[in-house]
Amino acid sequence: MKSYKQVNYFQNYIKNSLNFWQQRLNNSSQTQTNILLKNKQRTIVDRVVIRSTKYWKQIADEFSAQSSTNKSVQSLSSQSHNQQIYDC
């Protein structure tokens, strides 16, 4: 099981990376509508920014889902044995 420091480190790393790429997407030289609609007119930088933003958003979503699942399992395992049986 991951330690609290490791989880906190990964949460901060993912959050910072996602924020960085979202800011890059927001500060692009083109409007977001043009970037998202005109594939052939995208620059290499725009493509990298869009893919990186999508990637880090996916990583953040997966990590968030995993963290909430781990918290639920820990919560269940901390209940008394009788309470767990009663919940079934």
In the predicted model, residues of the chain with pLDDT beneath 70 are 1-2, 28-42, 68-88
Query: Which residue in 6, 19, 26 sits closest to 57, CA to CA?
Result: 19
Model-wide pTM > 0.95? no
- Residue 25 sits at the vertex; the CA angle it makes with 20 and 31, to the nearest 5 degrees, is 160
Contact in structure between 18 and 60 (CB atoms under 8 Å): yes
pLDDT score, position 11: 78
Tokens representing 4? Answer: 């609290």
What is the reported pLDDT for 75?
60
Rounded distance between C-alpha atoms, residue 30 and residue 27, angstroms: 8
Q: What is the DSSP letter of 3?
A: -
